[in-house]
Structure 1
Amino acid sequence: MTLLHAVLLGLIQGMTEFLPVSSSGHLAMTQHMLPGFEQPGILFDVLLHLGTMLAVVLYFRRDLANLLSSPFRKDEEAVLHRRLLLLLIAGSVPTAIIGLTFKDYFEGMFENIPLVGLMLLVTGSVLFVSEKFRRGNRKEKDLTFLDALVVGTVQGCAIIPGISRSGSTIAALLLRGVDGETAARFSFLLALPAVLGAALLSLRDLHAVPAGEFPLYLTGTAVAFAAGMLSIHFLLAVIRKRRLFAFALYCWLAGSLALTLTL
C-alpha cells in the first residue's frame, strides 16, 4: 500500500459511508483497480469504517451523552433516551447474528466485482422505491421494537458489498413511516456497535500488517474521519429536502459501469 492508496481510499470511504451509495462497494471497486494494493483480510476497510464512525461519535456527541447517561438520570427526557437506547440494543442483535454467522462468506464477496455492481443496482432500486413510497412522519418517540429489529436485520444484510448500509437502513425506516431525519440519525447511531464489533474481530489481522505500513493505515483512517464529518452534514440536508432519487440514479450508473467493465 502507498500513501496515495491510503489517502484516496480514506477519502472515498469518508465521502460514501453516509451517502446512500455503498462505501464498501466503492472501496472494493477502487481497490480492484489500484495496482499492487494488498491488505490482510479486510482490516484496512474496517479501520476506514472506524474512522467514519468516529465522525458519528463527534457529530452526535450530545445524543450519545444523553443515551449513555439516561440509565442514571431521572428527568423526563431520560425516559425517551432510555427507550431509544433499548431500541438501539435490540436493533444490534440481528446485525450481530448475521455478521457473526456469515462474516467469512461476506468477506469473500469483496473480490467479486460483478456482484458488487449488481448489488449497487439493488441499492439504487431500494432508494427509488423508498423515496417514491415514503409515508408518515414518525419521530424518535414513535419508534417501535419492530422498527429496530427490521432495520437491524437490514443492516446485517448490508455487509454485502454494494448494498449501502446507510441507504438500506434509512430506506427501511422511511417505508415504515419514519421521518427522514429521524431515520438517518437512528441509522447512524445503530451503526456504531456494528462497526466497533467488526473492528474488534479484525484485530486478529494486525500481525500481518508490515510495521512500515501502520502510518498509512492511520492516515487513511484520519482522512475517512475528516471526509465523514462533511458527508454526515450533507446527507442530513439531502434527507430534509427529499432528494434520494439522485443517489438512486448514481447507484444504477455505477452498478451498470461495474458490470460492463467486468463481464
Structure 2
Amino acid sequence: MKNTLLLALFAALISACTTSPTGRSQLMLISPEAAIVESKKAYLGTVAELDKKNKLVSDRTTVERVQTITGRLVTEAVAAYPNTRDWEWSVAIIDDMETINAWCMAGGRMAIYTGIISKLDLTDDELAQIMGHEISHAVANHTAERMSRAMAINLGVVAAGAATDNNALTLTGAALAAKLALELPNSRTAELEADRLGMELATRAGYDPAAAASLWRKMAKVGGSGGPEFLSTHPAPGNREKSLTKMVPEMQALNPKGKKSAVYPVTIVK
C-alpha cells in the first residue's frame, strides 16, 4: 500500500506538466479550467465579505480610472490569448489605505487596494504596469500552478504519513487550494514571466513601459523594514528594476507612438 501510494504520487507529478506562454514547463495537478471554477468561488466569497464591511469602492473617479486602464489591458490580453475572451473580467477596488497590494485570480477576477494607488501615488502608466502584471499571472496560468503546488505539498504529506504509518492532515481539495493560491507567493520564475508579459500588455495598450522601473523604485521606498504586503506575494529580486529598465527599448518598439487600445468592458465590483 505504501509503495503503491508513493508510485502514484511520483506518476502524478511526472505526468502533470504543461507549458506556459513563454515556453516554461509548469506543474499542473489542477487544470486551468478547474482553477477558474474554484477561483470564482473563492473570489465571490472574498467580495461578499468585503461588501458586508463596506470596503468596496464606488467613487466615480477611481472606478472610471481603474476601469479604463484595466479595460485597455484586457483588450490586449484577449487579443493575445483568445481563450480569455469568455472570462468574467472584473475588478474589486478595496477601500484599505494601509494595504499595498493587488492580485488577479484565474478567470480574470482581480482586486486592487486603495493603499497601493495612494501610498505609491501611481501615475496611469504605473497603474497599468500593476494591473498588466496581475493579468499576466492569470493568462500564464499561475493560479493553477500555485494551486498545484499546494496540492503537491499535500500529496507529499499524505505519502509521508503513509510511509511512516502516521495519520496525515490533508487539504480538502481544489477549493482550499484556490484559497491558498491567494496566499502562496509566486515563484521567482513566475514573477519574471509576469513582469515581461505585463510590460508587453501595458505597452501594447498604450502605456509607457519605463513606468515598470519607476513603479519598483517607489515600491522599494515604502513599507519600512518589512516591506509592503505586495512584496510578500510578489518576491522581488534585487536587480528587478535594472532588468525592467533593460527591457524598455524592446517594449517601446511594440507600440512606438503609444497608441491607446480600445476599452474592454470590465466589471467593477460594487
TM over 0.5: no
Kindly indicate which of the two structures has a greater share of residues assigned to helix.
1
Considering fraction of residues, name the structure with more strand: 2
Asked which structure has the greater RCO (Cα within 8 Å, sep 6+), the reply is 1
Normalised by the length of structure 1, the TM-score is 0.30
Query: Which one has a bigger Cα radius of gyration?
Result: 2
